[in-house]
Amino acid sequence: MGAGARLMGIDPGLRFTGWGVIDVHGNRLRHVADGVIATDNTDSVPHRLKFLHDALTLLFREHRPDEAAVEETYVNRNGTATLKLGYARGVALLAPAMAGILVSEYGAMGVKQAVVGTGGATKEQVALMVRRLLPGATLRRADAADALAVAICHAHHRATRLRVVAGTVMA
């Protein structure tokens, strides 16, 4: 695989799942598309998960990413909410894998570190840096900004991995 690639970042959620697609060539990033998949919270959880899977599958067909990256779930005090987020994350991991797309995972602090320079960055700081790094990003919701941040994080990690494989960086 060469240095150029199309990457999709996914910020999973049962209510809103953010997604963002970027093209990467060397150290250049280019915004392709971003958006949010919204499920109807009056539908059953299985129906919402199927809707999420189907929507992601359509996005993979439309944008044809080479790789995908998914943000890891953080555990909060509400066990039910964490469990539902885990369901959505499972779909976000499974859908690209079923499409034959390599999937990577990143924690929220690592994403913030890669994009803003500090793991304690606010959502507003992340969105500001995403806009700066990817002119043209629409970012209708914070979920889309977070998904593009995951894609940017993956681009940085991927570039390092490719340099290690090529032998230009010590492992």
Q: To 10 degrees, the CA torsion angle through 98, 17, 64, 3?
A: -100
Catalytic annotation present for 23: no
Per annotation, catalytic residue among 34, 67, 143, 146: 143
Would the CA dihedral through 75, 158, 152, 92 be positive or negative? negative
Catalytic, out of 11, 34, 67, 146: 11
**C-alpha 141: how far from chain center:** 14
In this structure, the strands spanning 67-71 and 102-106 are parallel
Q: Which of 34, 67, 71, 146 is catalytic?
A: 71
Catalytic-residue membership of 71: yes
Residue 62 annotated to the active site: no
Active site residues: 11, 71, 143
